[in-house]
A and B are shown apart, each in its own frame.
Chain A
Amino acid sequence: MAKQLIRVKVNGRDIERAVEPRLLLVHFLREELDLTGTHIGCETSHCGACTVDLDGRSVKSCTVLAVQCDGAEVATVEGLAQGGVLHAVQEGFYQEHGLQCGFCTPGMLMRAYRLLQENPDPTEEEVRAGMSGNLCRCTGYQNIVKAVLYAAAKLREAHKAEEKIAA
C-alpha cells in the first residue's frame, strides 16, 4: 500500500514518517515510535485506554488515522513528567491509589491532564462525567476521582504561586 509522508509533533519532538494511510494513530505511536504507554483495550472507542492529547483535545487514538495527524501536536503519557518530576496527575494517581493493573492508567492520566485544563476546579460530579470516556476494571473509580481532585488542587496551588511571583 502506498505510503504517505506525515509530520507530527509528538511530546514536543518533530517526527517525519511515511505511513500507510490506514495506519491508526495508536499503532503509529506504539509500533513506529515505540511509545507503548498508550494502550489498546477495545477497537470501538469505548474503553479510553488509548486516550492521547491531539491539538489540545482528548482523542481515542484507536479511531484516529495517523495521516489525520499530519501537522498536529500529539501528547502521550510519556510526555507528562518534565525534568524527572511527575506531573500533578501522575502524582495524584500514585498518592491516592488510583491504579491497580495500570492498563487504563495512561489513558486516564491523559484525560485527567486535559480535563483539568478544561475545568481547573471540578466538582466530584464533574470529574466523574469528565472521565466517563475512560473505563477501569480494577479500581471502581473512587480513588481515580480522588486522584484527579488531588491533582486539581495541586495545579491550582502551583498556579497561584506562579501568579504571586509574577505580581
Chain B
Amino acid sequence: MNAPIDRAAALAGIGQPRLRKEDARFVQGKGRYVDDIKLPGMVHMDIVRSPLAHARIKRIDKSAALAVPGVIAVLTAEDLKPLKLHWMPTLAGDVQAVLADGKVHFQMQEVAVVIAEDRYSAADGVEAVAVEYEELPVLVDALKALEPDAPVLREDLAGKTEGAHGRRLHPNHIFTWEAGDQAAADAAFEAAPVRVEEALFYPRVHPCPLETCGCVAAFDPVRGELTTYMTSQAPHVVRTVVSMLSGLPESKVRIVSPDIGGGFGNKVGVYPGYVCAIVASIVLGRPVKWIEDRIENLSSTAFARDYHMKGELAATADGRITGLRVHVVADHGAFDAMASPSKYPAGLFHVCSGAYDIPAAYARVDGVYTNKAPGGVAYRCSFRVTEAVYLIERLIDVLAQKLNIDKAEIRMRNFIRKEQFPYRSAFGLEYDSGDYAAALRKVLDAVVYPALRAEQAAKRADPASPSLMGIGLTTFTEVVGAGPTTSCDILGVGMFDSCEIRVHPTGSAIARMGTISQGQGHQTTYAQIVATELGIPSEEVQVEEGDTSTAPYGLGTYGSRSTPVGGAAVAMAARKIHAKAKKIAAHLLEVSEADLEWELDRFKVRGDPGRSKTMKDIAWAAYHEPPPGLEPGLEAVHYYDPPNFTFPFGAYLCVVDITKATGEVQVRRFYALDDCGTRINPMIIEGQIHGGLTEGFAVAMGQKLDFDAQGNILGNTLLDYFLPTAVETPRWETDYTVTPSPHHPLGAKGVAESPHVGSIPCFSSAVADAFAHLGVTHLEMPHTAYRVWQTCRELKLAA
C-alpha cells in the first residue's frame, strides 16, 4: 500500500495547483466553439441594423435583397408578429423588440435579418435591404431623461405607470429602488460634525469577450425537436425561455453551450439574434448559424455600468463613518435588459457600505431609458457590485483627505472587525466572514508602505520633478454566489445550482453540472473537489457542462457563483455517494459502519489497518454485489440552495508614476491580496486574479463606450475600444489570506471577479492620490493620458 502522502498526490485534489484538464484540446486547436459547428444543410443569418439612434421606420423594402444570389429569406418584425415573437420579455421584467417594431430605439438595433446559403451572401443581402427612416429627437444624457420635455422613448409603454419594480415617475423612468433606512441615515448626517460628498460617474463599458456572441439553431421538423448551440453562460435558463416563447415543450428543446471564448457577463442575456436564428430554423427547417462581428458585439449586446452616482459620508472628527447616503441615476438604455436576480433591479448594489461598520445607510437608484443599447450586465462582477465598491472606496478616500488622515489608517478605524462576523450591514446583508484588518496589514508590510509615503513626500516637495507619484488603496468586500432561492430567482426559477455524479464500475467517474465554464477551468476545479471527497484521482473524473439534455438544471456561471453554488453542489452530491460507499464497505468488510474510518481514497477498519476497501473496490461491488436491500449503482444528484451569499474580500495597493508633461500613467507596482476562503486550485486562482486585474486596468485606464449627441456610438471597434496588450498591462503581484466561508461545505467563496471589482477603484485612488496635495479629490475614469494631461494642465503642471 502506498504511503498516504503519495496517494494524496495521486488524487490531485483540493489545494493542489494541478495543471488544467481542458488545455489539451485548446493548445491543439481542437476546442469546439459555436462558430466551429457545421451542420448538414446549414445556412447563415446576418442582421440589418439601424444607423440611427431614434427614428420611426417608414418602410422596409426587401425586394433587392431577395434578388441577391444565395439569399433565401428576409425577416422583419411584420414576419414575426403572427408568431408573437417580434417582442420578447427581458430578464428584468421589461420587453425588448426582437426586430424593430415601427421604430428604432438605439443605433445598431436589429431591424431585419437575412438568411442566405453562406455568410458572404447573407452580408450582401444585408446591404441590399432598403429601410426608410424618419428621425426623432434623441435622448443620450441619462440625467436629462426625466425632464418634462425629454423625448419619450418607449411609446409601447404609454400610460403604464407601474413597471416590474413599482411606480414609474415619468415615461422614461423604469424603476426606483431603495435600500437601508432613510430616516436613520438623515439623522446620522444631521448629527455629524464631518460630511463629504462626491459625484462619481461610472462610464458605460462593455465586457468584450474575445469570442463574440452567436448560435447555430437546428430545428428538426420530423421529430419536432429544437437543438441550439449557443454562446450562453446560462443554457438551462435559455431553454426555459425558448420553451416559453416558442410553445415547444421544454423536453423538445435542447440548448448546448459548447466551449465559450470568454463571457464576463456579456453572454448571460438572450439576444434578438438568437431568437431570429431559432425562428428562421423553425420556418426553414434547416440549421441556421448566426455569429456577430465585433462591431455588432460592442454596439448591441449587453453593456455594463453607466451609473451616475452621488455619494455622501457622515463622520466623526476622528474619521469614524456614521452614515452613508447614495443616489444613483442608472442608464439602462432603450430596454431594461439588466441581468440580475428578479427582485434586485439594482443588483447587489447594497453592498455599497463596503468593508466598513457603518451604522446608518440609505441608497436609492432610479433607472431610466435612453437611446442606447439595452443591458446592464455584471462585467466580471456580481450584479452591480463593481459600482458599489467603486462608490464606497472613492468616498472613504475623499473623507481621509478632508480629515488629513492616511487612507490606510482611516480604513483600519472603520473596518468591520473579525469578531463582528456574521455581520449584518445597515443594508441588511449578512456578511459571512472576514478579517479585513489582517489583510490590509499584510499588504502594507509587503510593500513597506511608510517608505512609499516618504518617497512620495520627497517627490511632492520637489517642484522640478518631472513626474507625480500616486498611491492607491482599496479594501473591499464582494457579495457573490447568488443565491438563496428565498431571495434570488431568474424569471421565477430559484438560483440554486446542481451536480450529478456517477461513479463507474471500474472506479472512474463523471460529474455533470448546471454551470458552464467560459475559461474558469471548471473541468479541473470540480474534478479536484470530487477527488478529495471521494478518493478518485481528479485525472479520472470527467466534468461535463452546458448540454441541457444531459446536465442537471442549473442557473449557470456568472456573478462568481460556480464555486460558491456549483462547487458546493459537487461536494454535497459526492457526500451522498460517500455515505452509500460506506454502507457497501461495511458490508464487504463485515463490520458496522461505525467501525470504519475514511482515509483519502478508502475506508479502513478502525484498529485493524490491514483491512480496508478502496473507492475502486467499492465501485465494483456497487455494480457487482451490492449489499442486500441496497439498490445497485453508485451515483447521486444534488441541487444546492445556498443559505447565504459568500463575501470574498481583498486589499489592493497600487503605485503609479504620472508624467506631468504628457499625462501618461505608469503603473509601477500593483499588489493584490485576495481572500476567497478555501483555495481549490491555487494556480487557477492566480490566473483568474491576473485576468481580473487586467480587465480592471482596462476599465480604469481606457474603456468607455461614448456617444455623441445624435446617439452615434463612438468607438465600437477594437481600434477605439481599449483592450490592453502585453505591453501596457502591468506586472501583478499576488498574495492571499484564507478566511473560509462558514456556510459553504468546502469553505470556498469564489474568486474570479474580486480582482476586477477591487482593482478599478484602486487605480482611481492612485491617480487621484498623485494630485491630492493639490486639492484634487476625485478624477473620472478612464484615466487616459489625454484626460490626465488635461488635469496636469489645469493645475499648471504641464504646458
What is A's interface to B at a CB cutoff of 8 Å?
A: 20, 22-23, 27, 30-31, 34-44, 46-47, 49, 76-78, 80-81, 86, 90, 93-95, 97, 99-106, 109, 127-129, 131-145
15 contacts between A and B (CB under 8 A): A22-B120, A31-B38, A37-B28, A94-B20, A101-B262, A102-B23, A106-B29, A129-B727, A131-B725, A137-B723, A138-B687, A139-B687, A139-B694, A140-B729, A141-B729
A contact residues around B686 at 8 Å (CB): 97
Q: Are A101 and B261 in contact (CB under 8 A)?
A: yes
Determine, out of B161-169, B171-179, B207-215, the stretch whose residues face the partner at the interface: B207-215
Q: Are A101 and B726 in contact (CB under 8 A)?
A: no
**A44 and B717 in contact, given A97-B684, A101-B518 (Cβ under 8 angstroms):** yes
B contact residues around A106 at 8 Å (CB): 29
Q: How far apart are B526's CB and chain A's nearest CB, in angstroms?
A: 16
Q: Are A132 and B727 in contact (CB under 8 A)?
A: yes
Q: Are A94 and B732 in contact (CB under 8 A)?
A: no
Residue in chain B with minimal CB distance to A34: B38
Q: Are B719 and A46 in contact (CB under 8 A)?
A: yes
Q: Are B28 and A81 in contact (CB under 8 A)?
A: yes
A contact residues around B262 at 8 Å (CB): 100-101, 103, 137-138
5 more CB-based (< 8 A) A-B contacts, given A44-B718, A101-B260, A142-B731: A27-B119, A36-B29, A39-B33, A80-B28, A140-B692
Residue in chain B with minimal CB distance to A80: B28
Q: How far apart are A90's CB and chain B's nearest CB, in angstroms?
A: 4
Whether B31 sits at the interface, judged by CB under 8 Å, is: yes
Q: How far apart are A85's CB and chain B's nearest CB, in angstroms?
A: 11
**Contact code string B481-525 (vs A, CB < 8 Å = 1, else 0):** 000000000000000000000000000000000000011110000
CA distance A94 to B729 in the complex (A): 21
CA distance A102 to B293 in the complex (A): 19
A contact residues around B285 at 8 Å (CB): none
Q: Using a CB-CB cutoff of 8 Å, which residues 282-320 of chain B contact chain A? A: 291, 293-295
CA distance A90 to B24 in the complex (A): 9
**A140 and B693 in contact, given A102-B26, A103-B261, A135-B210 (Cβ under 8 angstroms):** yes
Residue in chain A with minimal CB distance to B727: A132
Residue in chain A with minimal CB distance to B681: A97
5 closest A-B pairs by beta carbon, nearest first, are: A37-B29, A101-B519, A103-B261, A102-B26, A140-B694
A contact residues around B520 at 8 Å (CB): 100
Q: Are B519 and A97 in contact (CB under 8 A)?
A: no
Q: How far apart are A50's CB and chain B's nearest CB, in angstroms?
A: 11
Residue in chain B with minimal CB distance to A105: B26
**A127 and B695 in contact, given A99-B27, A105-B26, A140-B732 (Cβ under 8 angstroms):** no
Residue in chain A with minimal CB distance to B19: A94
Q: Are B729 and A43 in contact (CB under 8 A)?
A: no
Residue in chain B with minimal CB distance to A36: B36
Whether B617 sits at the interface, judged by CB under 8 Å, is: no
A contact residues around B209 at 8 Å (CB): 101, 103, 137
Q: Using a CB-CB cutoff of 8 Å, which residues 658-710 of chain B contact chain A? A: 683-684, 686-688, 690-695
B contact residues around A136 at 8 Å (CB): 210
Q: How far apart are A144's CB and chain B's nearest CB, in angstroms?
A: 7
Q: Are B694 and A141 in contact (CB under 8 A)?
A: yes
Q: Are B30 and A104 in contact (CB under 8 A)?
A: no
Q: Are B693 and A39 in contact (CB under 8 A)?
A: no
Whether B547 sits at the interface, judged by CB under 8 Å, is: no
B contact residues around A41 at 8 Å (CB): 210-212, 261, 294
A contact residues around B717 at 8 Å (CB): 42, 44, 46
Q: How far apart are B301's CB and chain A's nearest CB, in angstroms?
A: 14
A35, A49, A81, A95: the one within 8 Å of B210 (CB)? A49
CA distance A136 to B690 in the complex (A): 11
Q: Are A128 and B29 in contact (CB under 8 A)?
A: no
Q: How far apart are A48's CB and chain B's nearest CB, in angstroms?
A: 9
Whether B22 sits at the interface, judged by CB under 8 Å, is: yes
Q: Using a CB-CB cutoff of 8 Å, which residues 1-41 of chain B contact chain A? A: 19-20, 22-33, 35-36, 38
Q: How far apart are B733's CB and chain A's nearest CB, in angstroms?
A: 10
Q: Are A40 and B691 in contact (CB under 8 A)?
A: no
